[in-house]
Structure 1
Amino acid sequence: MTQFKHSLPGLLALLCLTGGLFAVGAALAAPDAAPVANIASAAVTASEPAPALFSHQVPLELDAAGTAWLGTSTALVLLMTLPGLALFYGGMVRRKNVIATITQSVAAFAVVSLTWFVAGYTIAFGTNGDAGINQYFGSLDALFLNGVTVDTAHSLLPGIPEFLWVSFQLTFAIITPALITGAFAERLKYSGMLLFTALWSLVVYAPIAHWVWGGGFLGAQGVLDFAGGAVVHVNSGVAGLVCALFLGPRKGYGVEPITAHNPVLTMIGASLLLVGWIGFNAGSAGAANGLMGAALINTLLAAAAASLTWKFVEVVYKKKWSLIGALSGVVAGLVAITPAAGFVDPKGAVVIGLIAGPACYVSSVWLKKLLKYDDSLDAFGLHGAGGLVGALLTGVFASTAINSLSEGANIGVQALGLVWTILWSAVGTLIILLICKYTTGLRVTDAQEEDGLDGHLHGEVLDGV
């Protein structure tokens, strides 16, 4: 009782304070009391006209359901790089290079996020009304996201806030150079990788994205690429092949066994890639609608089909059903269906997956041995070959019953888009590699490669190394 008496004044004071706060809140919320924020907004509106929109912008007319779905998809696509691709690649390298390999995915996230903010977005999706220049290169109006506000939308998706569209496309820009790291795993300097990624995202990725998605000449000519068969996968696969050829093989490649240190990590990474790919493909519908549903089921079916056909070829050739083989088949199907996901029906998706499995197996195993290049984690074998297969087959199986844009689709137009993508990616990548070679340098020393990159480059090693 004595304790209660001592606490009573404190309780009364607390009640008084609470009541006072409640009264203030009620007064501010009364109809005749304008909120401070609204008063400020009214003052700005009265004294300042609304800023003029850029050519690529329209006033936002919010599609709440589509916005919610694209926000979810953005998170899913980011999951594909961190931690999905990081673990997928990290499990397939040798134990002494796990941290270095995973760190490259982290670097891709950090570097590309800033280059996209500075110039990548406006190069890819900006327009300035000049039909000549804009066929090949976006405007620079939105440098540093200048002019992008909470009230603007991109003309491609007028119901989606532009900031969200910027973020969604950023996740595609992040994973594309991250895929390339699989080609030069276990032998590239970290400083060289940082410079390469920054230059490549601006010089190679952003222009190709503009050509296909941002109002450029390939999209205008009817090239179909729903979620990145050419823009992401063929682009990164070709760049990876150029990197592998330019750098040369790892020490001991083809002479001593180089095996995956932890297929379980690769399994976790591949599973995250599979889940994230739902956002990658179904999110590219840009709305919560029937097309989104078609892209989703097509994604799952193609992945399943490719995993099985990869395994059938592998068991004939190696007499074993490997876990990494099954997972590689899943990724092959995901890659191949990416350009077609919103253009084909489920039957077409299954056929694309069935073809992609063996095609990517041949590219990852036989072609690499025949030409004797060291594409460490099959960046070209999976993404280059799978993207090529998927992009070409989109021209075969595209259906107007799924998407009206499928009308007129054919292999010739798809091949034209691939030729431009391959040429720009290959030449641009080679030039950037030369720049990096004579500035930061590219390849680690023989001693560093022999000991492992983890300790030498990052000062961290796994226990037991």
Structure 2
Amino acid sequence: MNTGDTAWVMASAALVLLMTPGLAFFYGGMTRAKGVLNMMMMSFGAIAVVGVLWVLYGYSAAFGTDTFHGLLGNPFEKFGLQGVLTTGDNAPLVGTIPEMAFVGFQAVFAIITVALISGAIADRAKFGAWMLFGGIWVTLVYFPVAHWVFDFNKDANGNPIGGWIGQGLGVIDFAGGTAVHINAGAAALALALVLGKRKGFGKDPSHRPHNLPFVMLGAGLLWFGWFGFNAGSALGANSVAAYAWINTLAAPAAATIGWLVVERFRDGHATSLGAASGAVAGLVAITPACSALTPVWSIVLGLLAGAVCALAVGLKYRFGYDDSLDVVGVHLVGGLFGTLFIGLAANPESPAAAAGLFYGGGLEQLGKQAIGSVAVLVYSFVIAFVVGWIINKTIGFRVSEDHEVAGVDISVHAESAYDFGGRVGSSFHPLEAELHARFASETGDRAIVKESPTSDSEGKLKVKA
């Protein structure tokens, strides 16, 4: 065991865990004011559900002994982390770090992957249905896919017995372009189709981001945590970590420029939302490639990914699916772009030691990257669609139209992020006013509407406070 490597991996795990609250701010700022708490709760809900399942059987399913041709680890082998808990000189190691540190580092990857999906269903999902979906999806999809991509176990004779994508096929995915971003993006697209469009999608101006400082704060926390996400994946305080760290700086910086340039030419102005989204797009794209590209190629990747993702977020209007916060346009498209770019620009002198097309490697690596990407995309989409459809047809995944218009914060959680009590005479939806009144009576909050609303001849609400 190397104490320096251990300290770095544990610190990296904490950085990656911080990314999920950062994502909550990033997503929360992009929703309506009436749905920000629900949006943030879905990220915290992911921490709760996945954190428990990972300890019980998730780690074992992802990194236990392979049970069938690189498809799944044995979920019962290390159930409850049995066999991993030994401390001292007898503690099992993964490389130069205790296996328990590796358990924690991989846990936070599983958490944020589930949380990423929630951005596609903002303002219209039942919280309980989301929690149920998260638990089922992470079990059926993320745990197996993590085994496919991240498990590099070998038997006693040194023969590979890990996952079929990373170890068997030879796909390069240093920190999760397939297992995290393509995986989450495909599931997000499936859920967006299952739940359908928000009321007023593409027309209602209230669907614009309500708090851009939240968005910028969230993007900053994500970028900060991403250094643990990528550099921590070296599993040591070493030159590979430093290499990944620099690329994690260069690519999103360039992607921010790429996104803003597209905005400037397309819309006539560069926006704070575009800057934040561009940085995240670059982070997504460099995630699989940060050990395979030189820093200059990372800048090229970032510029292209920022521009491509800026254009891709408009696909939802062309094809008619309501991906509320552009999970598909940023994470699915960005993850695919970064994963495939490895097949073009991978440098044989980089830590990944693979040669892309531009370095005389031909199309072999590009073909491997494409097979791995498509396999994860299709598997995640199909399972997410089926699970989401079943939940929607049984307990219901989407809130009622009245609750959606009134706001999912007050209708689902009986809470409000902001004090709307001063909106005397404003056009509350009747159910919104009723729910605020009910909430006020239960909490004794005099600042919130206390009396039953009455409607005037135009259907607008007159509120007595």
Please indicate, yes or no, whether the TM-score normalized by the shorter chain is above 0.5.
yes
What amino acid is aligned across from residue 429 of structure 1 in structure 2?
Answer: A
Bigger radius of gyration = 1
Equivalent positions of 1:65-464 (< 5 A) are 65-82=4-21, 84-128=22-66, 133-140=68-75, 141-151=77-87, 157-214=94-151, 215-219=162-166, 220-257=168-205, 258-365=207-314, 367-406=315-354, 410-464=365-419
Shift of 1:144: 1.5
**Structure 2 CA distance for aligned equivalents of residues 246 and 316 of structure 1:** 34
Shift of 1:439: 3.6
Shift of 1:159: 1.4
Deviates more, 1:142-151 or 1:425-434: 142-151
What do the CA deviations read for 1:376-414 (whole angstroms, capped 9, x no partner)? 000111000000000000122222312154256621100
**Structure 2 CA distance for aligned equivalents of residues 371 and 319 of structure 1:** 24
Shift of 1:423: 1.3
**Structure 2 CA distance for aligned equivalents of residues 335 and 319 of structure 1:** 26
Partner of 1:29: none
**Structure 2 CA distance for aligned equivalents of residues 444 and 118 of structure 1:** 31
Runs of 5+ unmatched residues, structure 2:
152-161, 356-360, 421-465
Q: How many pairs does the alignment contain?
A: 398
**Structure 1 CA distance for aligned equivalents of residues 373 and 91 of structure 2:** 30
Contact 1:282 1:292 in 2 (8 A): yes
Contact 1:281 1:295 in 2 (8 A): yes
Deviates more, 1:139-148 or 1:202-211: 139-148
**Structure 1 CA distance for aligned equivalents of residues 95 and 267 of structure 2:** 52
**Structure 2 CA distance for aligned equivalents of residues 434 and 255 of structure 1:** 26
Closer, same or farther in 2 for the Cα pair 1:404/1:265, shift >3 Å? Answer: closer
Closer, same or farther in 2 for the Cα pair 1:451/1:66, shift >3 Å? Answer: same
**Structure 1 CA distance for aligned equivalents of residues 15 and 113 of structure 2:** 15
What amino acid is aligned across from residue 240 of structure 2 in structure 1?
Answer: L
- Percentage of pairs with the same residue: 45
**Structure 1 CA distance for aligned equivalents of residues 115 and 239 of structure 2:** 31
What amino acid is aligned across from residue 124 of structure 2 in structure 1?
Answer: R
TM-score, length-scaled by structure 1: 0.83
Aligned Cα RMSD in Å? 1.4
Runs of 5+ unmatched residues, structure 1:
1-61
Shift of 1:440: 2.8
Contact 2:186 2:378 in 1 (8 A): no
Deviates more, 1:294-303 or 1:426-435: 426-435
**Structure 1 CA distance for aligned equivalents of residues 13 and 412 of structure 2:** 31
Contact 2:29 2:214 in 1 (8 A): yes
Contact 2:252 2:282 in 1 (8 A): yes
Shift of 1:419: 1.2
Contact 1:153 1:160 in 2 (8 A): no
